[in-house]
Amino acid sequence: MTRKLFGTDGVRGTANSFPMTAEMALMLGAAVGRYFRNERGGVHRVVIGKDTRLSGYMFENALTAGLTSTGMNVLLLGPVPTPAVGLLTPSMRADLGIMISASHNPAADNGIKFFGPDGFKLSDTVEAEIEALVTSGVRPAHPENIGRAKRIDDGRSRYQERVKSTLPSGLRLDGIKVVVDCANGAAYRTAPEILWELGATVIPLGVEPNGLNINDGCGSTKPQKAAAAVIENGADVGICLDGDADRIILIDEKGQIADGDQIMALMAARWAEEERLVGGALVATVMSNLGLERFLQGKGLRLERTQVGDRYVVEAMRKNGWNLGGEQSGHIVMTDYATTGDGLMAGMQFLAEMVRSERPASELTRSFIPVPQLLENVRFSAGQTPLDNTAVKTAITDAEKQLVGKGRLLIRKSGTEPLIRVMAECEDPALLKQVVSGIVTEVQAVI
């Protein structure tokens, strides 16, 4: 079955525009409630978390109405990181978990992500079946079977204790000064509290959400403010999270920015030394740098690539039993600890290595020299299909010919935003710029 509502990470779009309307959230809530309840006996629960977007209130209420109409009892967590929903869904014996968030997107956007009873994101097949229920409509529960809703006050603290427990026993962060940028998002209280409780000196940024400033000039997509704060305060490291805290970008003591590829390289090498890296494999997407692949090969390890989307990384990990994966954008998945990407847990692993090795962040975030990589995004309007245009296809074919034996090209539509992403890698910077700009020019001409 095909999916029209769902992208690479749930349903996402601009609030109050299709598909992110209150009416659609109501229908999605009823559909997913019916799918997971499916007339089975007993008590049925769903946990719902959200980030700090203003529209989160609207979608929380709409989803709750749809879910309770099919007999699901709703447990409302309030603002929590996405991985907290993945953790609490099975621990609270819920039938499913829902996170209301558009992750790194602007405040005007929002999204709805679904987790199964095992805490993992739903498969494409299940999402297609839920879409079919949205289209066909669902039968509501009998009046006496309508569900209830209540607030859960300790969800955030339970998650915080889980994150802290991922540090090696007895390890403390005393003496480490950390700038943490929470993007005015879901971890605005969680991240600073965890770091302080573990002994770090904390300089918090992006901890004053107002519903409209999430990811606004801050967080993992805009780490420059945090980089400046690291230099200004003489900090040892900077941690930048996105709006729902499932991804991380690091900043060393010199203000240099390190992406997910460098974090994964460090962790894979360390875990391999400790004989913790299952199968000698790291799972990443087609976006990860060729330099990461070469680094792993030099260590006798493998890079297993998937399509873009942390859920596809997790699917490959579960299928093959691998326990470490992620994305260049900063999703780091450690299935020994969590069911989805977790920026805070990844940050804990990095800080633990700083303490263990007594090496500065600048050394730990430079495991390999990246192959020059250029990514440009071109925004398009609804209904447009620029990649189907003949001139664009010709430009892509010509670029691929120029890169044979010299690099690689990746063109794709974003699964979370109306963007065409044009990415290329090449040892020759001039050729790299030429091929990317040529394709971008053709796409812009079409739209």
List, as residue ranges, the binding site for Mg(2+).
103, 242, 244, 246
**DSSP state at residue 289:** -
Element (H, E) at 11: strand 11-14
The two three-digit tokens of residue 344, written as one number: 């805070």
Instruction: With beta carbons less than 8 A apart as the criterion, state whether 252 and 365 touch.
Output: yes
Distance of CA 185 to the CA centre of its chain: 13
350 φ/ψ angles, rounded to the nearest 5 degrees: -70, -45
Question: Hey, what are 210's tokens?
Answer: 């107002």
Helices (H) and strands (E) in the chain, counts: 14, 18
From the list 55, 69, 101, 103, the catalytic residue is: 103
| Pair of tokens at residue 64 | 């709750």
DSSP 10-73: BEEEETTBTTBSHHHHHHHHHHHHHHHHTT--S--EEEEEE-S-TTHHHHHHHHHHHHHHTT-E
**Can you say whether the dihedral through the CA atoms of 439, 441, 443, 445 is positive or negative?**
negative
Q: Which residues are annotated as a binding site?
A: 103, 242, 244, 246
SS3 325: strand
Q: Which helix (H) or strand (E) holds 445?
A: helix 429-446
Residues 125, 155: Cα–Cα separation, whole Å: 30
- Strand-pairing partners, residue 237, are 178
The one-letter amino acid at 112: I
For 9, counting Cβ atoms within 10 Å of its Cβ (0-12 exposed, 13-18 middle, 19+ buried), the class is: buried
User: What SS3 class is residue 427?
Assistant: coil
Is 367 an annotated catalytic residue?
no
Whether residue 90 is preceded by a cis peptide bond, meaning omega within 30 degrees of 0, is no
| Closest among 51, 83, 91, 97 to 163, alpha carbons compared | 83
Sign of the C-alpha dihedral, residues 162, 166, 167, 168?
A: positive
Residues 6+ apart with CB under 8 A from 431: 402, 403, 406, 407
- DSSP character string of 268-317: HHHHHHTT-SGGGEEEEETTS-HHHHHHHHHTT-EEEEE-SSHHHHHHHH
Give the residue numbers annotated as catalytic, written as ranges.
Answer: 103
